[in-house]
A = this chain, B = another copy of it.
């Protein structure tokens, strides 16, 4: 990417970078990529979640244990807005996290939560990083017993190298190299 042509363009690029950082967190959690989770935080990054408060390093350890209880998670985020203050930023992101696991009637393994990520970010030499995240829990609702079998065969997600995101990336790279 070349240098943006003015301050106005720079603002758009800062906003894009911060949005993509929040998306990278969601993707990393859902794909079980713990290095990817750690990478969105600054070296001295901190996290405050329901049931956890501490360093980003300790958060990743805690998260690894939590995620092992589920067959899968999906962190869908919507509303995302940022206040830029030079090399610092405040971001608020709304989302819902769907958790599923066996047995399907266990409410501790099958629930959806509504949250807001309230993030303090800092521009570092490596790009924007989270200095502190406060994950606000808005509500939690049981999905126990509501799971339906898919109505046919088709692409399924995974936490491994066979997730369609990764296999499709190979397809796209081959196509781009062949042009």
Contact = CB atoms under 8 A, between A and B. Distances in A.
Contact of A76 (B7, B94, B164, B173): B94
Contact of A156 (B122, B132, B137, B179): B137
Contact of A1 (B1, B11, B81, B86): B11
A172 B90 contact: yes
A88 B140 contact: no
Given A116-B164, A169-B83, A135 B152 contact: no
- How big is the A interface, by class? 35 or more
Interface string A13-27: 101100010011011
A172 B51 contact: no
B9 A8 contact: yes
A37 interface: no
